[in-house]
Chains A and B, each alone.
Chain A
Amino acid sequence: MPINLEIPKKFKVLVGQANQVATEVLRPNSRKYDRAEHEYPKELDMLAALVDGMNEGSDLGGAGASGVRRSENGDGGNRNGSNMSTVLGVIEMCWGDVGLTLSMPRQGLGNSAIASVADDEQRERFEGKWAAMAITEPEAGSDTAAIRTTAVLDGDDYVLNGEKIYVTAGERADLVVVWASLDPSQGRAAIKSFVVERSNPGLILDRLEHKLGIRASDTAAFRLENCRVPKENLLGSPDIDMKKSFAGAMQTFDNTRPLVAGMAVGVARACIERTRELLADAGIEPDYDRPAHSQPAAAAELLELESEYEAAHLLTLQAAWMADNSKPNSLQASYAKAKAGRSCVDIALRCVALCGSAGYGEDELLEKWARDAKILDIFEGTQQIQLLIIARQLLGKTSSELR
């Protein structure tokens, strides 16, 4: 088959459904939950049931972070599978609202981790639950090797102690996937992820953060105080294997980076579309065939922003396509995340400027999107971390050589 970068026809229905959800449910509630930070968006409960239905109704993956598991490619032919459909769904949902998408019950990053690395028994046990992800600590952000939360085996339980921050939907979820070290002296290899029930008395909510954007999405800070977790809740292998363990934990990120890139692509498209409408009201319509220099500056700028979006979009689809076809995509996943994260911020901020007071005021959503956008260049690996990952791979450097 020939090279083709169009959205495959078989996903048109899924994309259409997700777009409808975004238009009918997310957009109308966008401003409400931006203002009412920490209030539970109850409209999402019904929606989540619908999304579950969408996931079950097809083998295409659904509209959220329902699974980025890699499957072996049987016939060696080209596949457009769940990685692509998931990314396409996320793009549409985040075109609607990133904060609300992140608050979608049962669509948390923890769910993604479980779907990606849990064994069959665990997947069955945690099915239908909403799982948040707890990695970051006050002294350990992108540097996951510095994680200080400990997990000590005691009988049939691991006992967890430590502090976790920036846990998306941490208060609302049923489960929290906590990253902790079996032995802090052994660095990355000793870091494992544990599924902790939200109701566990050892998992204590400290506070909910007040944020620049994505306010519909709650961000929790926890303390873990002698938090006992059944040992069957450790995801992956309990062995401390210098080669494999951390790679296993990080595999989640190889699979979820394209999703976050997709979030950024969705926000970027929302900004461009609305700005195009507002500019048209002001009498400015870009012409694709005329040289940019021969057009009004605002039209030329919009074209430039759209080209940034195009690059981010295609890089994101490429990363998902590679995952669907079992091609190693760590590099391309980081290309996508880096490009989508930074261009989304750039696009959103410049769209605000192009639209003037309409862009900056709260009557429109542009100013909100510009605030929401910034997180997408930070979580799941900051811009700088992506550049490090990319540079180390291209230059063949270890993390001790290129720090």
Chain B
Amino acid sequence: MNAADKGMSLGLRALNRVAGIELLDRVGLRERAARALYSATKNGFKAAGATARTFSRQRKLDTPARQGRGTRAELFDLTPTDEQQMMREAIGNFAIEKLRPAALEADDAGAAPAELLAQANELGVTMLGVPGELDGAFEERSAVTSVLVAEQLARGDMGLALAVLAPGAVGTAIGLWGDAEQQGTYLPAFAGDEPPAAALALLEPRALFDPAKLQTKARAEGGGFVLQGLKSLVPRAADAELFVVAAELDDRGPALFIVEAKETGVSVAPEPAMGLRAAATGRLALDGVKLSAGALLGDADPATYAACTRLARLGWCALAVGTSQAVLDYVIPYVNERVAFGEPVSHRQAVAFDVANIAIELDGMRLATYRAASRADQGLDNAREVALARSLVTRYGMKIGSDGVQLLGGHGYIKEHPVERWYRDLRAAGLMEGGVLV
């Protein structure tokens, strides 16, 4: 290092120190700056549920209603049922015709158009997990159906798909684990004309988050519970009327609570991220939120909580499969039409093999996801299969997102093409917890 370089380096270090520490301390600004930051963050939060309805018991059930369960299948089969096939086609068309054209603007606006969400609701996505007795449309509980729906929606756009699916996660959770009172209170709305915005909130804002080790705490008090904590990347947090929140319950381990947005101490703040922007992700703060005893979902059974985290991860697998399919479908015509050095770039193995590898890994991700979902439907343990599907999706979903941009080169990097959005969205699938539930 010569003298000039050394001087430069020293100068930069000094600048850093002055700007970073000394200047603030010297003029007594440090405390004020910190306070301003705090207040900005705090002001970002506002009471949730401004437009939320009041939930009251709509239906009296003696016992919880449950959708029918699938039985053990005899044969290996990759053919969906007729009902699933119909659903898949209807949702697929909606995704390509409605979601895809709206995706760029929704990503930009950080919100999903209300009209689109209403159209999606008409397709029945919020009532996938609502039992027939409570006006749900599907007699049989099927994680496979939910996976197929999520996959198709994400072919259109992952952010919009998340916005569309978020309420259904709460509906399915209450359908699967709710008691008679909870179901009679909340589920009719999910099968009604105007299903509530709702969200399943598991994730917390820190590195190495583990859903088994929650910092959001619930303590039993006065015959009910008091919740304290912060949840992260909650879809549609600002307009949600209802949340299912994961919190560590005293010494009983992680548990799920039904939290109405109107409760005192519930506040939300925008938390925009790299992708999924159309889902208007936000933070959910629970500050001494008092809940009745009836808010505990699934009786804090560890098996219920484990099933919840697995089915949520599976939802993210399905979303990643759908968006990865969108990437494949998009790059094939592009590399065939894009000419360089006198012929389509797809005539080069370096390009063609990337396309082949997207297809191979996508199909592997898809089959692993279907297997995990099908095991859930058959009442088989699927901890292993969910973990493996998630591992594949984390690695290859991200790789496919990256390759999608790469194959378009500079064109892939600008918003004229959707691949840059898919790059941002696909990164989410391996790190999200909650938000969707199949």
* Chain A interfacial residues counted at CB < 8 A: 52
Contact of B352 among A288, A294, A317, A391 (CB under 8 A): A391
* CB-nearest residue of chain A to B306: A289
Taken together as a complex, chains A and B put the C-alpha atoms of A317 and B142 apart, in Å, by 23
Nearest CB of A to B394, in Å? 8
Q: Could you say which residues of chain A place their CB within 8 Å of the CB of B392?
A: 307-308, 310-311
Report whether A5 and B306 are in contact in the complex, using a CB–CB cutoff of 8 Å.
Answer: no
Which positions 40-92 of chain B face chain A at CB distance < 8 Å?
70, 73-81, 84
In the complex, chain B residues whose CB is within 8 Å of the CB of A289: 212, 306, 309-310, 383, 387
B408 within 8 A of A: no
Residues on the B chain within 8 Å of A291, using CB:
208-211
Chain A, Cβ-Cβ closest to B310: A289
Q: Which residues of A contact B70 (CB under 8 A)?
A: 2
A-B contact pairs, 28 of them (CB 8 A): A2-B77, A2-B81, A2-B377, A2-B378, A3-B78, A3-B80, A4-B75, A6-B76, A78-B77, A78-B79, A80-B76, A288-B387, A291-B211, A304-B391, A306-B391, A307-B368, A310-B385, A311-B392, A317-B76, A318-B363, A318-B367, A335-B364, A339-B364, A387-B349, A391-B356, A392-B352, A395-B335, A397-B347
Q: How far is the CA of A390 from the CA of B346 in the complex (A)?
A: 13
- Chain A positions 282 through 305: 1 when the CB is less than 8 Å from some CB of chain B, otherwise 0: 000000111111100000000110
Contacts of B96 in A (CB 8 A): none
Q: Contact flags (1/0) for B9-49 with A, using CB distance below 8 Å?
A: 00000000000000000000000000000000000000000
Q: Is the CB of A402 within 8 A of B79?
A: no
- Chain A positions within 8 Å of B, measured between CB atoms, are 1-10, 78-80, 84, 288-294, 303-304, 306-308, 310-312, 314-315, 317-318, 321, 332, 335, 338-339, 384, 386-388, 390-392, 394-397, 401-403
Whether A303 contacts B356 by the Cβ 8 Å rule is no
CB distance from A273 to the nearest CB of B (A): 13
Identity of the chain B residue whose Cβ is nearest the Cβ of A78 in the assembled complex: B77
Q: Which residues of chain B are near A3, meaning CB under 8 Å? A: 77-80, 84, 144, 370, 373-374
- Minimum CB distance partner of B81 in chain A: A2
B residues 323-354 near A (Cβ < 8 Å) are 328, 332, 335-336, 346-347, 349, 352-353
Contact between chains at B388 and A397 (CB < 8 Å):
no
B359 at the interface (CB under 8 A from A): yes
A396: chain B residues at CB < 8 Å are 336
Contact indicator A394/B332 (Cβ below 8 Å)? yes
Q: How many chain B residues touch A (Cβ–Cβ < 8 Å)? A: 60
Chain B residues, Cβ within 8 Å of A8: 74-76
Q: Are A5 and B391 in contact (CB under 8 A)?
A: no
Closest to A391 in B: B352
Chain B residues engaging chain A, CB cutoff 8 angstroms? 70, 73-81, 84, 142, 144, 208-212, 306, 309-310, 328, 332, 335-336, 346-347, 349, 352-353, 355-357, 359-361, 363-365, 367-368, 370-371, 373-375, 377-378, 380, 383-389, 391-392, 394-395
Q: A79 — which chain B residues lie within 8 A by C-beta?
A: 75
CB-based contact B371/A314 at 8 Å = yes
Chain A residues whose C-beta falls within 8 Å of the C-beta of B380 in the assembled complex: 6
- Per the bound structure, the CA–CA distance linking A3 and B145 in Å amounts to 10
Please pick, from B78, B353, B359, B365, the residue contacting A5 in the complex, using a CB distance under 8 A: B78
Query: By the criterion CB–CB under 8 Å, are B378 and A4 in contact?
Result: yes
A88 and chain B: residue at smallest CB distance: B76
- Chain A residues with CB under 8 A of B385: 310
CB distance from A335 to the nearest CB of B (A): 5
Could you say which residues of chain B place their CB within 8 Å of the CB of A317? 76
- Name the CB-closest residue of A to B384: A288
Report the 8 A-B pairs with minimum CB-CB distance, sorted nearest first: A311-B364, A4-B73, A391-B352, A307-B391, A314-B367, A288-B387, A5-B371, A390-B356
Residues of A within 8 A of B210 (CB): 290-291, 294
Contact of A7 among B76, B367, B373 (CB under 8 A): B76
Q: Within 8 Å CB of B80, what residues of A?
A: 3
